[in-house]
Amino acid sequence: MPDPLYSPYHQMTITRMTECIVYRSEKREDTYLYLRANQPLDDLPVELLESFGQAIEVMQLNLDVDTRLAQVDARAVQAALKNSGYFVQLPPKVPVEELITRTFS
């Protein structure tokens, strides 16, 4: 006899949040670094740190698949954070204003 309290129609989908800190590059305009919240900057590759320059903290985020970011897909950021602990967002090839209009219209 099936369990009367169980129904496949009542299963919940649980999305996993990824805590991260976003830094902007003092050296490179419109370049941002997403770093897992528990990972120190010193753990990043030396070449990245030299190229990025001084990292200035912009904000802390709890990312999930539904998080809307202006220039990148949250899933791509989450995957990179899971695999390497960081994600570098480079300047857009399209003007920022146009990206914002596309994303939030």
9 three-state secondary structure: helix
Q: How far apart are CA 105 and CA 102, in angstroms?
A: 6
Strand pairing partners for 55? 25
Assign 9 a pLDDT band (cuts: 50, 70, 90): very low
Q: How far from chain centre, in Å, is Cα 86?
A: 8
In this prediction, residue 70 carries a pLDDT of 83
Residues sharing a CB contact under 8 Å with residue 56, sequence separation 6 or more, in sequence order = 23, 24, 25, 26
For tokens 């897992």, what's the residue? 36
* More confident site: 6 or 53: 53
pLDDT(12) > 60: no
Name the residue ranges covered by the structural domains of the chain.
14-104
- % of the chain with per-residue pLDDT over 90: 54
Assign 3 a pLDDT band (cuts: 50, 70, 90): very low
Residues sharing a CB contact under 8 Å with residue 52, sequence separation 6 or more, in sequence order = 23, 25, 27, 28, 31, 33, 88
Read off the pTM.
Answer: 0.73
* More confident site: 103 or 86: 86
CATH 3.30.590.10 fits 14-104, yes or no: no
Instruction: Please give the backbone phi and psi of residue 34, each rounded to the nearest 5 degrees, phi first.
Output: -100, 125
